[in-house]
Amino acid sequence: MTAACVMALGLGLVATGCSAGGSVNELDTRTPPTIASAPPPPVTGYDGLIGLPLSAYGTSEQDDHLLYRTNEALIARCMTGLGHRGYLSERRPQSTSRTKSQREAVRPAGAWGYIGSATAERLGFHVAVPVPKAKDPVGRELKDYNTCWKRADKEIPSLAGTRGWKLAQDLFGRSFRQTAADSRVKAARERWATCMGEAGHPAGDPEKLADGFLNAEKVTPREIDVATAAESCTRSSRLAGIYFAVLTGYQRQLVSAHTDVLTGYQRQVRERIERAEAILSAHPTATHPSTPGGSAA
């Protein structure tokens, strides 16, 4: 997956759009893709996003976890080498997997409607997946940490800003715009809006509806009512199934039109992952509190 655009899975954050810039030719795909008459919705919005064709170009959640561990290992070696013996004991491991309820809560509401009945009934639109919080360094430790972070970044350079990375971001944005303008998605959204009006909660945009509740400090009974209505209307309007089917179709067209650059970008991603694996294999105890000191560079 292109983690910088659609999701930063390691942080439990999923976005529904990317750069609005138009560096990709807007005429790349002009034929609406064919979809099934009643496409099934994904189990969760999270599953729908990570299953998209363009999500194959970039890092997966497992890759993100590996990169996180490697980065932590490099920083830990550097920090202990600079005298911060207690640094590693203050760090907490990043979770490697999500439960069904966690996947449902990552991003149940988006342009595709609301996916997640259990989340709607329990959390409304106030969704969040807890991320283990490490103690933030301060003072000299913070200064040394920044030095170590820069050294670690040189060991495994980011691909942000490369040609392939930029193309992946642009293609994601293009596919979201195409999907929003597709007549089948518009019709499903109109059915959703009609259903919400009949349920006593007039709304025209499922994503804006969800976002409108997020400034409140805590979930309210009204929010639960609106969220459960939104989830029910998403099902009856078939919005989620149609949305992801159309989005998938447009992304397949875009991938086909830009195979060479995307394949090259994915090769760079794999080389970066292999580099991280080699570093972690060479220092198997680098993430253990008793690791001896050393330098990250």
Q: Please spell the DSSP secondary structure of 14-80, one letter per residue.
A: E-S-------S-TTS--SPPP--SSPPPPSSHHHHHHTSGGGGSS--HHHHHHHHHHHHHHHHHHHH
User: pTM of the full predicted structure?
Assistant: 0.81
Q: What's the whole-number mean pLDDT along residues 263-278?
A: 96
β-strand 109-110 against 113-114: which pairing, if any?
A: antiparallel
Q: What is the pLDDT of residue 289?
A: 39
Direct distance between the N- and C-terminal alpha carbons of the chain, in angstroms, rounded to an integer: 29
What is the reported pLDDT for 217?
87
User: Higher-confidence residue: 68 or 8?
Assistant: 68
**Interval 114-149: pLDDT, tens:** 998 889 999 999 886 555 566 777 888 889 999 999
**258 in Cβ contact with 167 (< 8 Å):** yes
Q: How far apart are CA 71 and CA 60, in angstroms?
A: 16
The predicted model gives 229-256 an average pLDDT of 98
Q: How many residues does the chain have?
A: 297
E strand or H helix at 274: helix 259-282
Note the pLDDT of residue 124: 94
Mean pLDDT of 153-159: 91
Q: Quick one: pLDDT at residue 105?
A: 84
Please report the DSSP string for 87-148 in residue order. Answer: TGGG--PPP----HHHHHHHS-EETTEE--HHHHHHHTT--------PPPP-HHHHHHHHHH
Cβ 270 vs Cβ 263: under 8 Å: no
